[in-house]
Amino acid sequence: MTISEFQKSIEKIYLERDSARGLGGTFMWFVEEVGELATALRQNDREQLEGEFADVFAWLVSLASIAGVDMTKAVEKYGQGCPRCHAAPCHCSKKT
């Protein structure tokens, strides 16, 4: 599944509900999912990690849709390597 297909799928499933909740309310759900991901990372449970990464990505994509952002276009920022130094791997100072 491409990023575009995933965003369209999430919109079909959740856009109406998430739009009614608004950016602020949907962002709070996103933050809660990030917390669940943090717990899964700490526990290092592979199955739980995959589920939590999927949930975080779904909520992020939903936020993008509400805000009118096409995630496929948004990720192009990293298409040429690091957005700052344009290298892959990044050659920026470790202090930045």
pLDDT number for residue 94:
73
Yes or no: say if 82 and 91 are a contact pair by the CB < 8 Å rule. yes
Prediction pTM value:
0.89
Q: How far apart are CA 10 and CA 63, in angstroms?
A: 10
Domain boundaries of the chain, sorted by first residue? 3-78
Angle made by CA atoms 37, 42, 45, in degrees to the nearest 5: 75
> CA gyration radius for the chain?
16
pLDDT in tens, 81-93: 999 999 999 999 8
pLDDT tens-digit map of 13-59: 999 999 999 999 999 999 999 999 999 999 998 999 999 999 999 99
Per CATH, domain 3-78 is 1.10.3720.10? no
